[in-house]
Amino acid sequence: MTAARPGSTWDDPEREEDDAMPQRDPEATLRAVLDAFNRHDLEEIMGHFSDDAVFESPRGSEPWGTRFVGRTAVRAGLAMRFEGIPDVHYGDDRHFVSAAGDRGASEWLLTGTTIGGKRIEVRGCDLWEFANGRIVRKDSYWKRVG
């Protein structure tokens, strides 16, 4: 079992990380996560994250946006995307992984309509970190529009 980062939360302390999903190479993981986002399949998305993962969303009052630490918090942070933009879709994507396989980047075009009726079309990227075949950090950025 992976040791928790300070401040992390755990859904199930008895859960073995290897039970969630077979390990993949990082680039295949990035493609699978994007596909799961487009299907709005939060369970599959979370199957790629470690228990002590960190998600830094592009919006928030801090320089890093809003930081979610631990499986429960990351899941809640990612769920907000589907709640706020029910038809969210990521397209025109490209994925890159470092030679060591411990870091990656994804570029994409996010489209959708907010619950307030505003149409969104914005370029963005994610910076990723991997350990033991899992995502340990997702740091998201969006271009500012308007």
| Annotated domain spans of the chain | 22-142
Class of the CATH domain delimited by 22-142: alpha beta
Instruction: Tell me the DSSP string of 1-39.
Output: -PPPPTT---S-TT--GGGTS----HHHHHHHHHHHHHT
* % pLDDT > 90, the chain: 77
pLDDT computed for residue 6 by the predictor: 36
Please give the chain's pLDDT, 146 residues, in tens: 333 333 333 333 334 444 444 457 899 999 999 999 999 999 999 999 999 999 999 988 898 899 999 999 999 999 999 999 999 999 999 999 999 999 999 999 999 999 999 999 999 999 999 999 999 999 999 987 66
